[in-house]
Structure 1
Amino acid sequence: MMKVVITGARGFIGQNLAHYFRSTGSKVTLIGIDRYSDGPASERDVFDQFHTGCFTSDAALRLAASGDAVVHLAAQASVQQSMIDPLGTFENNAARSHRLIDHLRRHAPQAHFVFASTGAVSQDEGPIDESATANPASPYGASKLATEALMAAYASAWDFAGVSLRFSNVYGPRSRRQGGVIPHFCRRLLAGAPLRINGDGGQTRDYIYVDDISRAIAGAVAMRAEGLYQLGTGVPTSLNEVVSIFRTLGPGAALQVEHGPALCGEIRHNCANIARARADLGFVPRHSLRDGIARTFEWYDAELVS
């Protein structure tokens, strides 16, 4: 039975990935690593084994080296936090990831490494493919790009087996700690508060439902994929269009919107070209944005109101 280690296991994508493995009947032993100790017991219970602590602690590194595959999701994932604390972001996302990669290189050369990267490594307006110029607009994007470069160097020098998956804007249920715009809108709508837009709302993103990302990660694990892949829907959606979808979920015309200044470090337009992932990984997103937001809002409604 394959042993899959997930760092950031109590995070939004880690939780959904673990539940995806369980729901599909995959014959895997799941090991979770996460520094968070709060939250419901169910976040741990979906795993066969769980370690609470930093993914570079001695115990966590030993667990990672025991895996057939290591899915590295743990990160400081906020662009705005990276603007406030760029050194801390680099330490967490690049330096600690380097320690994990080097430990696997030395102690588990057979392990397959799956790295959660981001489309924020490039400012090109896209659709962005794997050959796009790397020019991150934030320390967050730069920290992810640094780890991609380390993986490429280790692959060249030591045949390190790994794949970088550049996620677009992932959303969905189990995002109680996530700070993205769709979780934020869900919380605000349920609280009867105005939806806040930074800027004019014309900025576009490629929003992808978390089940589609989980399926892509599981496929990359099964295939021991290597290299670099963009993961998204290939469809750009403006923030104003997202608000229009939320109007259909709540009080309709009564929903209020307030505007603030555009945020420093944010890219104006971002969308993925997923042709390579479609061809190599068989990746085809299945969820429309309207359906995905409705499912996410239903989860928040049950989680925060019921």
Structure 2
Amino acid sequence: MDLPVTAVGAEPPTDLMPRRVLVTGGAGFIGSHVVARLMLMGSEVRVLDNFSTGRMENLADAACGGLTEEDIVSADIRTPEGVEVIHQWQPDVVVHLAAQPSVPTARHAPLYDADVNVFGTVNVLDACARGGVRLLVNAASSDIFGSVAADELPVREDHPITPVSPYGVSKAVGVHYLDWYGRQHGLSYTSMVLGNVYGPRQAGGDCGVVSLMVDALLGGRPAVIHGDGTQTRDFVYVSDVAEAIALACHHHGVGTVNIASGRQTSVNEVYEAVREASGVGGAARYEPPPWPDEVRNMALDTRKARELLGWYPRVGFVEGVRLTVRDARRRQSGSQHLSPMWALSR
């Protein structure tokens, strides 16, 4: 299977101001940054989240920008109630970030993963197609590409889809459904294939390697590295991702586009960056890889994002790790600055 890359719509202008934007998963790690960025750009935003992984305190910045409790819909994208807001509120743009985000969870519970990432996504797409939404911006993952030969890195958008994990499969199915809705129902879309996103507010047992290492070292535990640590990923800071999504909302659909740094960074390099930023010494603990089919190396070609959206990553990896460590220290000290509304809603 090849990834659909045909742009949907005409040459993307930069002056399409989305008046109303609905963000599914808007209280999550990435979604909360997107909500705050869109509000800063002048859009009216509503959040749809079932709060299984999202947190009300993530929306503190958006609350300072004017987001109210009335702008938050607590519902599941798999239910009719979850997508009713699309028909009732009639947003210009829907940013679809709600997902089952954990690769380990997908391996242990593939039925649940598919229920959220496939059925939930189709439920959102169908509501958008029937509700007259101008544009849908979707979050895909580099896991859809699976294992890629070294001489084919960084991966372009037209690379064949060959996922090797249940998570990659479910995200790939969502991409193909999006392409079908674009062709059959005229739903304009931008599907963003994200690298390994990291930064403030990423937390939980199955979160990304950067945050896992930060939490381990600041908590006085050794960071765990699976394998020899020479495996690579393409890391992109969350504010850069939020900027890319906000830019996409101001364009016509551009099809599938990679959002990443375009560079490979090894897990060993991640550990050294976290160790230096945290000032915590000690050796990492190396353990066998949990899965024999884990992707060895990954990097994404981002030229299309630069050409069609005018986007490029601004935060370097070392600086991003430093900011992530600083945020983790603030969270550990309990110095989160919440407005009264969000504090009472916790």
CA distance in 2, matches of 1:96, 1:138: 19
Matched, 1:183 2:226: no
Q: Number of matched residues?
A: 302
Instruction: Check conservation: 2:210, 2:274, Cα contact below 8 A.
Output: no
Q: Could you say which residue in structure 2 is the equivalent of 1:294? A: 322
**Cross-structure match for 1:30:** 45
Establish whether residue 76 from structure 1 lines up as the match of residue 104 from structure 2. no
**Cα separation, 2, equivalents of 1:40 and 1:91:** 24
Distance 2:157 2:56 in 1: 38
Is the 2:141–2:171 contact (alpha carbons within 8 Å) kept by the matching residues of 1?
A: yes
Shift of 1:20: 2.0
TM-score normalised by L of structure 2: 0.83
1:51 aligns with 2:76: no
| 2:289 paired residue among 262, 267, 275 | 262
Q: Which residue of 1 is the match for residue 32 of structure 2? A: 15
Q: Bigger CA drift: 122-131 or 291-300?
A: 122-131
Whichever residue aligns with residue 190 of structure 2, its letter is V
Give secondary structure in 1 for the equivalent of 2:26. Answer: coil
The 1-side partners of 2:127 and 2:55 are apart by 29
Render the CA deviation track for 1:32-67: whole Å, top value 9, x for unaligned. 011117844562763340011202333331212321
- Which shows bigger deviation, 190-199 or 38-47? 38-47
Give yes or no for contact 2:202–2:211 (8 Å, CA) kept in 1: yes
Using the TM superposition, give the Cα deviation of residue 229 of structure 1 relative to its aligned residue in structure 2, in angstroms: 0.4
Please state how far the C-alpha of 1:16 moved relative to its aligned partner: 1.0
CA distance in 2, matches of 1:18, 1:244: 32
Which residue number corresponds to residue 163 of structure 1?
190
**Shift in alpha-carbon separation, 1:99–1:190, aligned structure 2, 3 A:** same
Match of 1:198 among 226, 251, 255: 226
Deviations 1:197-232 (A, max 9, x none): 011100100000011111100010101323100110
CA RMSD, 1 decimal? 1.8
Instruction: Report how far residue 91 of structure 1 moved.
Output: 1.1
**Aligned residue number for residue 303 of structure 1:** 331
User: Residues 3 and 52 (structure 1 numbering): CA distance in 2 closer, same or farther, change over 3 Å?
Assistant: same
- Cα gap change, 1:113 to 1:58, in 2 (>3 Å): same
Deviates more, 1:111-120 or 1:58-67: 58-67
Asked if 1 retains the 8 angstrom alpha-carbon contact of 2:122 and 2:177, the reply is: yes
Q: Is the 8 A contact 1:193 1:256 kept in 2?
A: no
Structure 1 partner of 2:115: 91
Report the alpha carbon displacement of residue 186 of structure 1 after superposing the two structures with TM. 1.1
Contact 1:127 1:273 in 2 (8 A): yes
Paired letter, 2:59? E
Gaps of 5+ in 1: none
Residues 240 and 41 of structure 1: is their aligned pair in 2 closer, same or farther, counting only changes over 3 Å?
Answer: closer
**Cα distance, 1:244 vs. partner?**
1.2
Cα pair 1:6 1:33 within 8 Å, conserved: yes
Aligned amino acid, residue 141 of structure 1: G
**Corresponding position of 1:224:** 252
Query: Structure 2 matches for 1:101-180, cutoff 5 A?
Result: 101-106=125-130, 108-122=131-145, 123-125=147-149, 126-177=153-204, 179-180=207-208
| AA at the equivalent of 1:72 | H
The higher relative CO (CA closer than 8 Å, separation ≥ 6) is in 2
Q: 1:233 aligns with which of 243, 247, 261?
A: 261
Deviations along 1:165-206, one digit per CA (max 9) or x if unpaired, are 000000111223461111111111111110000111001000
Aligned-residue offset at 1:77: 1.2
Structure 2, unaligned runs of 5 or more: 1-17, 335-346
Structure 1 residues 41 and 181: alpha-carbon distance in aligned structure 2, compared to 1, 3 A threshold: closer
- Post-superposition Cα deviations, 1:232-260, rounded to whole Å, max 9, x if no partner, equal 011100000111112212345x3221011
Change (3 A) 1:263 1:224: farther
SS at match of 1:229: strand
Instruction: Give the aligned partner of residue 61 of structure 1.
Output: 83
Decide whether the 8 Å contact of 2:28 with 2:55 is kept in 1.
no
Name the amino acid aligned to 2:326.
E
Residue-by-residue CA offset, 1:9-31 (whole Å, 9 max, x unaligned): 11100011112224xx3111110
Provide the C-alpha distance between the structure 2 equivalents of 1:299 and 1:251, rounded to a whole number of angstroms. Answer: 15
8 A contact 1:124–1:132 mirrored in 2: no
Contact 1:124–1:133 (CA under 8 A) maintained in structure 2: no
